[in-house]
A = this chain, B = another copy of it.
Amino acid sequence: MRRKRIRNWENRLREEGYKITTPRKSILSVFEQLGGHPNAREVFNNLSSQSPDIGLTTIYRTIELCVRLGILKKYDFGDGHSRYEIANEKTDHHHHIICEKCSKIIEYRDFLDEETTLIKKIQNKLEKKYDFNIKQHVLDFYGLCKECSDNK
C-alpha cells in the first residue's frame, strides 16, 4: 500500500502556483494554534497582537483560497458566520454537537461502527432514488450543554 505523503498547506499552495506570503503564514498559523472552528473575525482578533497590519479582507481572501484548495474546511452552524478548520486526516471526518444557547461546539469522530456503515447505506439508496451524486454529508446534533441547561 502506497503511503501518501502528508502535504502541509505550504506545499499545497506552491503546487497550485500560489505564493507563500507573510500574511498567509500568519493566518494559517493562527488556525494551527487556535484549533476549534474559528470564524474570520476570531482569526482577525487573534492576529491583531502579533500582526496588526493584516486586514480583514486578506483573511477572507486567504480563507476562501484555502477552502477552495481543500486546506480548510468550511462549516455553517447557523449562527450567522461561517466557521473554518484545518482539513487533515486527523480532523476528517467528524460530526458535531452544538449548544443552541452558547454556541459551544463539540466534534466527535468516535463513531459507532454502525454509524459509518448505515450512512453509506442511506447514501447509496438516496443516490439511486433521487439521481444525485452525493459528495458529503452533515450529521449535527443540536441541544443544550450542561452549563446552559443548568443556568435556566
A residues lining the B interface (CB < 8 Å): 74, 76-78, 82, 97, 99-100, 106, 108, 112, 114-115, 118, 121-123, 125-127, 129-146, 149
Bound together, the chains give a CA A133 to CA B125 distance in angstroms of: 31
Q: Which residue of B lies closest to A136 (CB)?
A: B142
Q: CB distance B106 to A130 under 8 Å?
A: yes
How far, in Å, is A147 (CB) from chain B's closest CB?
9
Contact for A134 among B97, B121, B134, B135, CB less than 8 A = B97
A137 touching B139 in the complex, CB below 8 Å, given contacts A118-B115, A118-B118 = yes
Q: CB distance B146 to A141 under 8 Å?
A: no
Contact for A115 among B122, B127, B143, CB less than 8 A = B122
Q: CB distance B145 to A131 under 8 Å?
A: yes
Q: CB distance A142 to B135 under 8 Å?
A: yes
Q: CB distance B141 to A134 under 8 Å?
A: yes
Bound together, the chains give a CA A135 to CA B145 distance in angstroms of: 11
Bound together, the chains give a CA A135 to CA B101 distance in angstroms of: 12
Bound together, the chains give a CA A121 to CA B139 distance in angstroms of: 14
Q: CB distance B143 to A134 under 8 Å?
A: yes
In the complex, what residues of B have CB within 8 A of residue A133's CB? 143-145, 149
Q: CB distance A100 to B142 under 8 Å?
A: no
- Some 8 contacts from A to B, beta carbons below 8 A apart, are A78-B82, A112-B118, A114-B121, A132-B144, A133-B144, A136-B143, A137-B139, A137-B140
